[in-house]
């Protein structure tokens, strides 16, 4: 749907902004909420985070707003450099954007984006949230990465497909009201040429044309008779 670099950057900005907040909430409240409340003996997740001094990231505790900013910068960079261009290329290998309905092609782009960004951001998160206080082991890092992918992929797929991307496209269309779909997309059914009735076609033939045709036929007939006598 975006047509130039400015629109692509704006589209990616909204997408990452919504996605990062959704993932931070999902990670802190859904995945690790019970553990945080149990370890800190708190009645809510936010109280548990405040008691421990913030969210654990890269070997120290940081406030939630700092975590969101760091993840936003990393996710936006990956989206602009890898996610957005690669997802379009992958979708184009399966579907021709000129002959595919926009909804189907955009769904293919969303699926390709999730397939690229989810493992990539999960790998980044495996480094950011690794328990460095217990020492570092590369195999443990890989295990944490696979664990994060298993947790994040279902949430990423369904949230992007049914909530985040429809919301982002609504905002984008509101801001860029004059943006139209790609002009080279020919996904509609070919128009059926209207066939005129035979009577109408005959009525449009000029009498002079009929006379000329009959004279031409007579000339050809005379030449053939002369030749074969």
Q: What is the mean pLDDT of the chain?
A: 82
Overall average pLDDT of the 104-122 stretch: 92
Would you tell me how many other CB atoms lie within 10 Å of the CB of residue 199?
A: 8
- Beta bridge partner(s), residue 226: none
| End-to-end alpha carbon distance in the chain | 75
At 142 the pLDDT is: 94
Q: What percent of the chain has pLDDT over 70?
A: 76
Environment class of 209 (CB within 10 Å of its CB; exposed 0-12, middle 13-18, buried 19+): exposed
pLDDT in tens, 118-145: 999 999 999 999 988 888 889 999 999 9
Q: Copy the structure tokens of residue 44.
A: 């809510």
Q: Are 165 and 16 in contact (CB under 8 A)?
A: no
pLDDT in tens, 30-81: 888 898 899 888 888 999 999 988 898 888 899 999 999 999 999 999 999 9
- Residues 6 or more apart in contact with residue 53 via CB below 8 angstroms: 61
167 pLDDT more than 80: yes
For the chain, the three-class secondary structure string (H helix, E strand, C coil) is CCCCHHHHHHHHHHHHHHHHHHHHHHHHHHHCHHHHHHHHCCCCHHHHHHHCCCEEECCEEECHHHHHHHHHHHHHHHHHHHHHHHHHHHHHHHCCCCCCCHHHHHHHHHHHHHHHHHHHHHHHHHHHCCCHHHCCCHHHHHHHHHHHHHHHHHHHHHHHHHHHHHHHHHHHHHHCCCCCCCCCCCCCCCCCCCCCCHHHHHHHCCHHHHHHHHHHHHHHHHHHHHHCC
Whether this model's pTM surpasses 0.75: no
**For residues 35 and 24, what is the distance between their CA atoms, to the nearest angstrom?**
15
């Amino acid at each position: 749907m975006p047509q130039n670099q400015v629109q692509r950057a704006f589209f990616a900005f909204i997408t990452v902004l919504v996605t990062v907040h959704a993932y931070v909430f999902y990670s802190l409240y859904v995945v690790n909420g019970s553990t945080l409340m149990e370890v800190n003996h708190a009645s809510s997740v936010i109280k548990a985070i405040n008691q421990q001094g913030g969210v654990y990231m890269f070997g120290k505790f940081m406030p939630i707003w700092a975590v969101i900013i760091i993840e936003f910068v990393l996710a936006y960079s990956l989206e602009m450099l890898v996610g957005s261009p690669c997802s379009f290329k992958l979708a184009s290998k399966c579907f021709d954007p000129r002959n595919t309905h926009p909804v189907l092609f955009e769904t293919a782009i969303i699926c390709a984006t999730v397939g690229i960004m989810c493992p990539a951001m999960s790998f980044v998160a495996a480094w950011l949230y690794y328990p460095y206080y217990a020492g570092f082991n590369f195999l443990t890092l890989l295990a944490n990465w696979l664990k994060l992918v298993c947790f994040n992929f279902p949430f990423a797929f369904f949230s992007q497909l049914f909530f985040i991307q429809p919301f982002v496209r609504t905002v984008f269309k509101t801001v860029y009201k004059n943006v139209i779909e790609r002009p080279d997309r020919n996904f509609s059914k070919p128009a059926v040429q209207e066939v005129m009735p035979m009577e109408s076609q005959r009525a449009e033939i000029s009498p002079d044309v009929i006379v000329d045709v009959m004279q031409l036929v007579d000339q050809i007939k005379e030449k053939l008779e002369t030749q074969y006598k």
